[in-house]
Amino acid sequence: MECSLRQIASILKNAGSIVVTAHIHPDGDSLGSMLGLNQYLLSCGKSVQMVIDDDVPRRYEFLPGSKNIVQPQDITITPDLLVVLDASDIERIGAVNRISRVPILNIDHHISNTKFADYWYVNSNAAATGEIILDLLNMENVAINSEIATCLYTAIATDCGFFRYANTTAHTHGCAAQLIKCGVRPHVISEHMETKPLESLTRTLEVLKTLELFFDGKIAAVSIEHSNADSADSTEGLINYPRNIEGVEIAIMFTFADQNTARVSFRSRSVDVSALALTFGGGGHIRAAGCTVIGSKDEVKTKVIKAAAQLIGGKL
């Protein structure tokens, strides 16, 4: 059932015991939204557990409360509601999907959302799920402390490229302004996001060597091989290098995690790459999307680049 934000608030109020989760390969938005909402629910006296079927990347460990996020096998409460944040389909939450047969409430901003939940609020105009969580807390007149503010600011800022991407709106900036008034120090968050271990730079150099251009330089691709694919910490953001090349319409990053599976990320300047990702069973936003493709390295690359070329009206 599609819900208004007010209905979402009352479903949350009526639940006693809640598991909150978000998508695997967690990013700033999924983690920040989860941590912000968790604090609110705790303040309402709920029994809450935050669960992600994945490790929390090291650079997000500064977020207040991140140490309390557990993996599915460590859930200790019996929930009467499962809240799924920032995930557009049920597959995105991994094994959390199998914890119990409780009603699912989904809050998300992906245009490709499959409306899989029992109750959903999807606002694709929001730059981040964190923006929606802030709207919810404001609607409930919650006093936002600096910890909640830090989580929600990180959620919003990371999903809009620190206010540089096309999804940045006046409302996004309004949220940021409010959160700064609540005690966020933007430069501290930026430093946590930008500081990387030396190995990360070494990997970047290796990945950039794989750069390939197709279709008159309108498509640019980089590939991350097996040995470099293990740490999402050091590969996030690499797709911005091909994306920023002059003349490139679609940037693609292939991550070959094992022999027969590739994670594929897309970024575009204008075309709808969420549609492209959807044709491979994935999803995302108009200018940033992703999918998983089965096949050998060459098969995956050929299939995906061909589909991308078709999207911008070209033949290879």
Q: Which is nearer to Mn ion, 152 or 248 (CB)?
A: 152
Collapsing DSSP to helix, strand or coil, 222 comes out as strand
Which of 142, 157, 128 lies closest to 39, judged by CA? 142
Cα 23 from Cα 90, distance rounded (Å): 9
Q: Which is nearer to Mn ion, 152 or 221 (CB)?
A: 152
Q: Which is nearer to Mn ion, 128 or 300 (CB)?
A: 128
236 near Mn ion, rule: CB under 5 A: no
50-109 binders of Mn ion (CB under 5 A): 86
Cα 190 from Cα 184, distance rounded (Å): 11
Indicate the residue whose CB is closest to Mn ion: 29
Strands (E) located in the chain: 17-22, 47-51, 81-85, 104-108, 119-122, 212-214, 219-224, 250-258, 261-268, 283-284, 288-294
Q: Which is nearer to Mn ion, 117 or 128 (CB)?
A: 128
Smallest distance, Mn ion to C-beta of residue 113, A = 11
Cα 211 from Cα 205, distance rounded (Å): 11
DSSP state of 83: E
- Cite the DSSP H helix spans in 166-272: 170-181, 186-194, 198-208, 232-235, 240-243
Smallest distance, Mn ion to C-beta of residue 27, A = 7
Which of 83, 88, 9, 19 lies closest to 51, judged by CA? 19
Please enumerate in sequence order all residues whose Cβ is within 8 A of that of 313, keeping only pairs 6 or more positions apart, or say none.
Answer: none
Smallest distance, Mn ion to C-beta of residue 106, A = 13
29 near Mn ion, rule: CB under 5 A: yes
Q: Which is nearer to Mn ion, 33 or 228 (CB)?
A: 33
Q: Which stretch binds Mn ion (CB under 5 A): 17-25, 26-34, 143-151, 178-186?
A: 26-34
Site map 120..139 versus Mn ion, x via CB under 5 A: --------xx----------
On the 0-12 / 13-18 / 19+ scale of CB atoms within 10 A, 256 is buried
Cα 78 from Cα 175, distance rounded (Å): 34
159 near Mn ion, rule: CB under 5 A: yes
Smallest distance, Mn ion to C-beta of residue 158, A = 8
Smallest distance, Mn ion to C-beta of residue 22, A = 9
Smallest distance, Mn ion to C-beta of residue 279, A = 21
Q: Which is nearer to Mn ion, 92 or 243 (CB)?
A: 92
Q: Which is nearer to Mn ion, 176 or 221 (CB)?
A: 176
Smallest distance, Mn ion to C-beta of residue 23, A = 8
Q: Which is nearer to Mn ion, 29 or 249 (CB)?
A: 29
Smallest distance, Mn ion to C-beta of residue 50, A = 16
Token digits of residue 117: 């939940």
Query: Sign (positive/negative) of CA torsion 176, 150, 84, 54?
Result: positive
- Which residues of this protein are in contact with Mn ion, per CB under 5 A? 29, 86, 128-129, 159
